[in-house]
Every structure is written in C-alpha cells, then in structure tokens.
Amino acid sequence: MRVGSSKSLPPSPTTYYLQSFMEQTPGTYDFSAFEQRWQAYWKKNSTFRTEPTSCGKPKYYVLDMFPYPSGAGLHIGHPEGYTASDILGRYKKAAGFNVLHPMGWDAFGLPAEQHAIATGEHPALQTRKNIDNFRRQLQMIGFGIDWDRELSTTDENYFRWTQWIFLKLFRHGLAYVSEKPVWFCPALGTVLANEEVLNTKEGPRSERGNHPVERRPIRQWVLRITAYADKLIEGLDALDWPDSTKRLQKNWIGKSEGAEVTFQLADIANESLAVFTTRPDTLFGATYMVVAPEHPLISKLTTPTQKAAVDTYIATVRNKSDLERTDLAAKKKTGVFTGSYAVNPVNGNKIPIWTADYVLMSYGTGAIMAVPAHDERDWEFAKEFKLPIIQVVGSKEPIDVQEKPWTEDGPMVNSGAFNGLSASETKKKITADLAAKGQGKLAVNFKLRDWLFSRQRYWGEPFPILWVSQSDYAKIPADSEIREFLPKQPVTCQINGQEVCAVPLTSKQLPLKLPEVKSYQPSPTGDSPLSKEPDWTEVWYNIADGETIAQSKPQPGPLWIKASRETNTMPQWAGSCWYYLRYLDTLNNKEIVGADVLKYWGNPDFYIGGAEHAVLHLLYARFWHRFLFDIKVLPTPEPFQKLFHQGLILGEDGEKMSKSRGNVVNPDVIVKEHGADALRMYLMFLGPLEASKPWNTDGIAGITRFLRRLWRLAVDETTGKVSSKVNDTAAEPEELVRELHKTIQKVTKDIETLQFNTAISQMMILMNAAEKSATIKRATVEDFARLAAPFAPHVCEEIWQRLGHKESISTAGWPKLDESKLVETTVDVVFQVNGKVRSTTKVDKAISKDALLALAKADPAVQKFIDGKPIVKEIIVPGKLVNIVVAG
C-alpha cells in the first residue's frame, strides 16, 4: 500500500507521518500485496483445477447458484454464499477429496436487452463486459474455483444443449402451444410465467421491475410441468433441503384429492356438469352450483329470461381489471343466476346453477357444487344472494350454520343413509356409490399450472422450431431425420388465420443462433424483435434432414417446403435448469454430458443459493432433471440432494439493501480497505449462514485484528522471518494443546454443518490461548494456519510459505485430531440449591458421586442455604453439577 506517492506535490506533514509509519518492512501485514500475489499464484498453478476422474480420490461437487452478471457488479450477498461454498470446497480438498467448485453465468435475460434497446449496443457485448467484471470481482475475493470449467448460458456450445433438451421435451409431447390468456407486461414488452408475477397491494406486478401486468390471449409455448406434479411432490421427501423450501414447493404444486361428481341437468338432455370437490361427503348440503363466467357451457345453461343479466355479468367480469378481480379488500361476492337447474345425484333435488367470478375456469372443471354450510366462500355467496344453507356435518358443540360456516369434521346429519357416519367414511362411500352409478370418480387436482416457456424477447435461446402448413407437414417422409424430435401428435396453432404445424430442427443443426437485428425493441402487440427479420424467419425447410435456407433464395428442390421460424425465445430459467450438468463436461461437443464423467461426479453434493429461487429455478430444474431421468439421459431422478439457502445481508440500517435506500455495501470497497480475507471471514462471522443479518462495517475491525494477530503469531513484523515465539523445543502449556485440539474438533464439525460463525469464535479462543503462551510450537502454528486457510486463504498461504513450505497450503491436508489431547483431569462443577447456582468448584473428573455430594454440602456458600432445612432431594450429575433441594 503506497501513500503520498504523488510526485508533483511536496509531501505534506500528514503524508510524511503516514509514510514513516506505513513504511514497508519484510514483515508488514500488507494484505493487498499478498492477496494479489496468491491469486496470481493460484491462477498460474491452476491450484483449484479439478483432478481427472481417474485420480482415485472420492469426489465432492460443491455448487453455487450461478449469478446473473448484472451491470451493477457483485452484490455483497453473492460473496456470502460463495464464501460458504468455498470454505466447504477448500476444506474438502484438504480432507482428501477431488473437489469440483465451478462458476458460470446465467447471462441471457432482460437487463442486457433493455440496455441494448437504450443504447443500440449488442446485448452480447454488454454481457461480455459484465461477465469480465464479475469474474474480476470473484477472483479478487480469492475463491478456489476451477475457472477452466467456466460457462455461460449464452455460449453457443452451451445453449445448443438447452435447445436439445427443449426438443426432447417437444418430442415427448411435453411442449405445446396455447393461446389462453397469459400475463403480459406492457412495460417489459413480454409475457411472464405465473411464477414471475407477484400479487401486490397495487394488483399483479412483474417480479422484475414491479410493473403492472395484465391478462392477454397471446400464442405461447408451454411446458407440461403438470404431468410431473406428482413426481415433483414425491421426490421432495428424500431430499436434504430446508423444510420451508420443501413446503413452499409442495404448496405451490398444491395437490388436492377429492372427487369429480357429475350433475345431470334438469332441463337439458345430453349435457351434464362435472365439478371437482374435496368434500364429496357434503353432497347432501349442496344447495346450488356455480360455473365460472368463462365456462364453455355457460351459453347453453343460460335461459332466455336470464340471458341479458348473464351477458352483462360476463362482460363486466371480462372488463374487470385483474386489479379489481383479485382485490381482496372488496371481497363481496358477485354472480348471476343462469336460469338452469341441476339434479343432485344423491337425493334428486333440483338446485339452481349460478355463474360467479369466485369460481376460476383454470382450476378443476371450472364449476363447483356449493355447500354454504361448510365452505366459507359458498357461505358468503349464499348470504349475499339468500340461498339456502343446509347443515350436513355435525359438531360436538351446537352450532348455527346460518351464522357462520362449519368447516371442521363431525358426524353426518341430514344425509339420509349416511347420518352418523364420520366425514371421512362418508367421503369414501359417497364417491364409491357415485362411481357405481357412473356419476363420479376419485379425482386429484393441482394448483400448479403448465410452465409458460416463451418470451417476446431477443436476448434468449431461440426455439429450434419452424412452422409449416398442414399439407406440407403430411409430406414428411417416414425415414426423415427430423423424426429424431418429431412428436407423435403434431403441435399445431393458428398463425395469421392459418392452421400451422411445428417441425423441429435436428441435432445436426444445433445450435440455432440468434440473428443480428436492426432493433431490439419488442412490438407493443407482443411480437418478438426476431419477427422483424424476414431473412432469418422465412426459410426453405428440408423435410428429409431439417436443413434450412433463406426463402430469398430459390427453392432448392422438391423436398424443401416453406417454413417460418418460431420468433419467441426461451425464458431465462431455461439455461439455469441444467447448468450443473454441463460443468462436468463443458467442452463436450457430442453429448450434453459424457457418461463416464457423469458416473464419477453425479449430482452436486452441496448446492447453495438464495431462498428466492425456492419455487422458480429449483422447481423447473427438478422438472427437467426428472424428465431427463425418465428418458434415460440421467441416472438419478433428483438434481440437488443437499440444498442450503444463505440469509440476506441487510444494509447497516437493517433494511434490505437497495440503491434507493442508499445502504448498498460494495465488495470492491471492502476488499480495497480491509482485504479479501477480512471480507470473507467477516461475512461468515456475522451470524448463522441461513439467517438474514445486517451488515455493520465497524464490526470488520474484530476480524482484521484476528487476522493480524494470526500473522504476528507466525511472522516477526520487522524481519518478516518466523516469529521468535515459534519454538520447536520449548514445551507448550497443556491448556494450549487442549485448546488446539478442541479447535480442530470444533472447526471440522462446524464446517461440515455450515456453522462458520462459531468455527471462527473457536479460532479466536485459540488465538487468545496462543498469545498467553510465551512460546508456541511450529506444528501448532501450522495446524492453526491450516484450520484458518479455508476462511482466510491468502494470509494463511503467506504464513505457510514464511514457515518454509514450498507448496500451497491447500495441498497441506487437514490437521489431525488427537482425542487423547482433549481429556481433562479436572472439571468445574456447579453446586446448586433449589436449582440456583450457589458455588462452583474445580474437582477431579473421576470423583465419586458421594464425594462430590459431600463436597457440595461442605461448601460454605451451599451450607448457608441448606442450613437447618430438611433435604428433600439430591441430584448429582457427574462432571456437571450437584443440586440439593430443600424444603421451606
């Protein structure tokens, strides 16, 4: 660190003093010099390059959620998780594992595209700059990453496999096109997945940017994730994940079991109305039915006298903004009678059919049987429209269902032959009875919706799909190479009034690259910027081998048909769905991942990232992984066996860090002022890894002091040689030896369980003990350095070298615990009277219970409280305490 180095100005008195005091000696703790030196050393020697699968060592794959390389650079939250995984990785390496700790970039995405729209600069350029900056920042913090395996989702050799997986999904009927209304964000100019839309007080908003979103019918690619709903729930059980995340996914998938019941219509023959219910037991209490305003039968159900009212209602609902429709404050139920009646299959009662927007077309059958006595929503509606409320489930205490719905279980009442039975028995019996009559069956429903997979953007993976006419589709030869990915059922949709069919490229034609475009601006109608590039979109397509050539050229031959490319691109989640696989084999041009490396490395042993991805990335990635397992590409059904979420680092004010609050902590500044080691260790010392905790720049002083004390323990600050305190022949106090082994034990265990804050505390305790001792053995200092190295690798490398070692400390192994050194001959025992501590005494560990009790009774501080009182009970816990219980 140079101060006052300006040549043009004479040194001021202040800089003169600073210069004299900051003068470099060979022993100066000059973190910025040695941090840079060791980072260069690791790079030059590929210290953290993963060893080949043939190395004979057990593998350990530690994975960070890779970052989106934003223009803002690294956030302080990034190095929190990355330091945790780095400590684990460095520890495992020391413990003899072949460690894979890779890093990459989730680099497709909207911010780069918005920057492109604003500046005209190609998003790839901006992305490259951002990646370079992120890499620089990560290297500045000294992460032990195998940079040879760096990847970006925007690399052609990466996204060709993203496209390949999509084509596999397409081939297996799991990708289709839908024109149902979807969330569209005018500000972002694109549609969003359900998972990307937040319900806020102001109404539905985009997760990114908090812009208002609205429902629009736009043609979309959709992935049939619902086909995996059951597997995605079941798979959770065996995973070592935070319970909260498992629960979140479970709730998001939202499995509910019940029955589908078919109601005959009283006045319309050949039509029936199916409903989904989780409470078939309450069927006798169904007093009306409700169909969603969008229900396909609505016009048939509506009688002429009700037509005007129903039409008006449907129009009102349609014109209702999503804001109004989801406004929970104005929860008052609305609806209109259709004029039709249904017949209750259990008792033949005629019940009216209403339409109301509290019934959603997107769930179940879009119609319900309403049991107001036992459902809050139905109860509110019945009260609003004065419909009958009939109790069919009883309770222990008398209740009045006219006052309030009863949603608990109880014996059946008013239910004919079922009276007196429990609700659960009745459920089974009624469903079985209905099934026998062909009027019902067991049914399962999920809240999970299919995954909206296309975006009207430029900066994403293009779909390797083209649209052709139905008649051309029929010409595809039986032995065509495009059958590699052709689905059994054609995927069709309407484009410009034409019925068209989707055809795939083949593996040979991947990757399908993005064309250069004149403008990145999406159209307000929801068309991608790619749609404005006819040279790219309009092609001749060879139905024998999938080759394409621009339509501006003459038709090359009879097998070539007119085709237009899909112009949507994939969402950002696509690339992050499988990147953990590609790290195993980044350079493989033939396969997504080679079988041999896959066999050795398998899945990540440890995966760390923010809890904000609990339902998005982590659900999508599980879906893809499970699919690839089902089609035998992968040997395991689940990608991430052990998952951990680091907590948020809050600003110094305890609020979430944000530019607008002005409480953002910049890692560059911290590293410059305090060093990478101090940043890493302090992030880990702040508190439990999983907890959200405020940053406090003042606190870093404690870590800096610790690191400098560690330095001074080993190195003489003036000479730079090994400290004269380090002495191989002098004896060490027993307490220091014991503390060292206690520290080996605790740091090892705490790293394994990710309790880095307490590991650091223990090292500080060891430091306090080491400084009290007049001399310290070289072996002790070496063990100390090896324990601290995963946390503060730079200073420990420097110490290791000054102690005379030639190799990196990362190759020096892990200190061995000698349990015999932990044994203590004397222990502190507590004497209590009536559970209150009255005295503590040092005793021999082997002391008998009787002797210990006698000691307690003889203690004057104890006697004072038991004197003259009858002893009721004596509890003796050897090595811990004596508790004497007295009466009075």
Partner RNA sequence: GCCCAAGUGGUGGAAUGGUAUACACAUCAGACUUAAAAUCUGCCGCCGCGAGGCUUACCGGUUCGAGUCCGGUCUUGGGCACCA
In the region spanning residues 693 to 732, those forming contacts with RNA, defined by CB under 7 A, are: 693-694, 696, 698-699, 701-705, 708-709
State which of residues 15, 663, 758, 863 lies at the interface with RNA (CB under 7 A).
Answer: 758
**Helix, strand, coil tally for the chain in percent (to 5):** 40, 20, 40
Secondary structure string (H, E, C) spanning 518-533: CCCCCCCCCCCHHHHC
* CB of residue 199 to RNA, shortest distance in Å: 5
Count of residues touching RNA (by CB under 7 A): 83
* Region binding RNA by CB under 7 A among candidate stretches 57-65, 156-164, 812-820, 869-877: 869-877
Provide the token pair at 561. Answer: 């048909």
Q: DSSP class of residue 480?
A: -
Query: Could you say whether residue 331 binds RNA (CB under 7 A)?
Result: yes
CA dihedral 681, 685, 690, 693 (to 10 degrees): -110
Query: Could you say whether residue 878 binds RNA (CB under 7 A)?
Result: no
Provide the token pair at 432. Answer: 């079985």
- How many whole angstroms separate alpha carbon 216 and alpha carbon 201? 21
Residue 511, preceding bond cis, omega within 30 degrees? yes
Nearer residue to RNA within complex by CB, 117 or 615: 615
CA dihedral 129, 83, 649, 758 (to 10 degrees): -170
- How many whole angstroms separate alpha carbon 289 and alpha carbon 389? 13
* CB of residue 207 to RNA, shortest distance in Å: 9
State which of residues 85, 206, 454, 755 lies at the interface with RNA (CB under 7 A).
Answer: 755
- How many whole angstroms separate alpha carbon 741 and alpha carbon 148? 37
Nearer residue to RNA within complex by CB, 147 or 363: 363
548-607 residues in contact with RNA (CB under 7 A) are none
* CB of residue 689 to RNA, shortest distance in Å: 9
195-254 residues in contact with RNA (CB under 7 A) are 198-199, 243-244, 247-248, 251-252, 254
Nearer residue to RNA within complex by CB, 555 or 658: 658
Q: How far is CA 578 from CA 248, 523, 639, in A?
A: 21, 31, 9
Query: Could you say whether residue 877 binds RNA (CB under 7 A)?
Result: yes
Nearer residue to RNA within complex by CB, 220 or 883: 883
State which of residues 830, 843, 847, 855 lies at the interface with RNA (CB under 7 A).
Answer: 830
* CB of residue 304 to RNA, shortest distance in Å: 27
Query: Could you say whether residue 321 binds RNA (CB under 7 A)?
Result: no
Q: DSSP class of residue 666?
A: P
466-495 residues in contact with RNA (CB under 7 A) are none
352-381 residues in contact with RNA (CB under 7 A) are 357-360, 362-364, 366, 368, 375, 377
* CB of residue 256 to RNA, shortest distance in Å: 3
Nearer residue to RNA within complex by CB, 328 or 823: 328
Nearer residue to RNA within complex by CB, 594 or 688: 688
Q: How far apart are the first and last CA of the chain?
A: 70
Query: Could you say whether residue 866 binds RNA (CB under 7 A)?
Result: no
Nearer residue to RNA within complex by CB, 17 or 308: 17
Query: Could you say whether residue 760 binds RNA (CB under 7 A)?
Result: yes
**Cβ neighbour number for residue 514 with a 10 Å cutoff:** 23
State which of residues 72, 417, 691, 854 lies at the interface with RNA (CB under 7 A).
Answer: 691
Query: Could you say whether residue 55 binds RNA (CB under 7 A)?
Result: no
- How many whole angstroms separate alpha carbon 659 and alpha carbon 129? 21
* CB of residue 293 to RNA, shortest distance in Å: 11
4-23 residues in contact with RNA (CB under 7 A) are 17, 21
Provide the token pair at 541. Answer: 């397509």
* CB of residue 123 to RNA, shortest distance in Å: 28
DSSP for 60-123, please give it. Answer: EEEEEPPPP--TT---THHHHHHHHHHHHHHHHHHTT-EEE---EE---SHHHHHHHHHH---H
- How many whole angstroms separate alpha carbon 84 and alpha carbon 80? 6
Nearest CA to 486 out of 456, 507, 515 is that of 507
Nearer residue to RNA within complex by CB, 524 or 888: 888
Nearer residue to RNA within complex by CB, 94 or 686: 686
> Is the sign of the CA dihedral 748, 753, 754, 759 positive or negative?
negative
**Cβ neighbour number for residue 403 with a 10 Å cutoff:** 9
* CB of residue 87 to RNA, shortest distance in Å: 16
Query: Could you say whether residue 687 binds RNA (CB under 7 A)?
Result: yes
- How many whole angstroms separate alpha carbon 142 and alpha carbon 136? 10
* CB of residue 502 to RNA, shortest distance in Å: 29
Nearer residue to RNA within complex by CB, 258 or 339: 258
Give me the 666-685 binding string for RNA, x by CB under 7 A, dash otherwise. Answer: -------------------x
Nearer residue to RNA within complex by CB, 439 or 832: 832
Contacts 24+ apart (CB under 8 A), 354-357: 354/288, 354/289, 354/290, 354/291, 354/381, 354/385, 355/290, 355/291, 355/292, 355/293, 355/295, 355/298, 355/301, 355/310, 355/313, 355/314, 356/290, 356/293, 356/381, 357/292, 357/293, 357/317, 357/320, 357/325
State which of residues 83, 162, 277, 568 lies at the interface with RNA (CB under 7 A).
Answer: 277
- How many whole angstroms separate alpha carbon 392 and alpha carbon 413? 5
* CB of residue 189 to RNA, shortest distance in Å: 24
DSSP for 532-548, please give it. Answer: G-HHHHEEEEETTT--E
Q: DSSP class of residue 255?
A: E
- Residue 264 three-state SS: strand
Nearer residue to RNA within complex by CB, 37 or 255: 255
* CB of residue 272 to RNA, shortest distance in Å: 17
766-795 residues in contact with RNA (CB under 7 A) are 767-768, 771
Give me the 441-460 binding string for RNA, x by CB under 7 A, dash otherwise. Answer: ----x-x-------------
Query: Could you say whether residue 733 binds RNA (CB under 7 A)?
Result: no
* CB of residue 231 to RNA, shortest distance in Å: 19
Nearer residue to RNA within complex by CB, 481 or 739: 739
DSSP strands (E only) in 6-77: 59-64
Query: Could you say whether residue 836 binds RNA (CB under 7 A)?
Result: yes
Nearest CA to 376 out of 347, 405, 348 is that of 405
* Region binding RNA by CB under 7 A among candidate stretches 274-282, 459-467, 565-573, 664-672: 274-282
* CB of residue 12 to RNA, shortest distance in Å: 14
State which of residues 9, 118, 269, 328 lies at the interface with RNA (CB under 7 A).
Answer: 328
* Region binding RNA by CB under 7 A among candidate stretches 165-173, 775-783, 807-815, 878-886: 878-886
By CB neighbour count within 10 A (0-12 exposed, 13-18 middle, 19+ buried), where does 208 fall?
A: middle
- Residue 145 three-state SS: coil
State which of residues 325, 428, 441, 805 lies at the interface with RNA (CB under 7 A).
Answer: 325
* CB of residue 754 to RNA, shortest distance in Å: 11
* CB of residue 750 to RNA, shortest distance in Å: 8
Query: Could you say whether residue 440 binds RNA (CB under 7 A)?
Result: no
State which of residues 615, 803, 812, 853 lies at the interface with RNA (CB under 7 A).
Answer: 615
- How many whole angstroms separate alpha carbon 504 and alpha carbon 507? 9
Pairing of strands 59-64, 98-100: parallel
- How many whole angstroms separate alpha carbon 166 and alpha carbon 331? 42
144-203 residues in contact with RNA (CB under 7 A) are 198-199
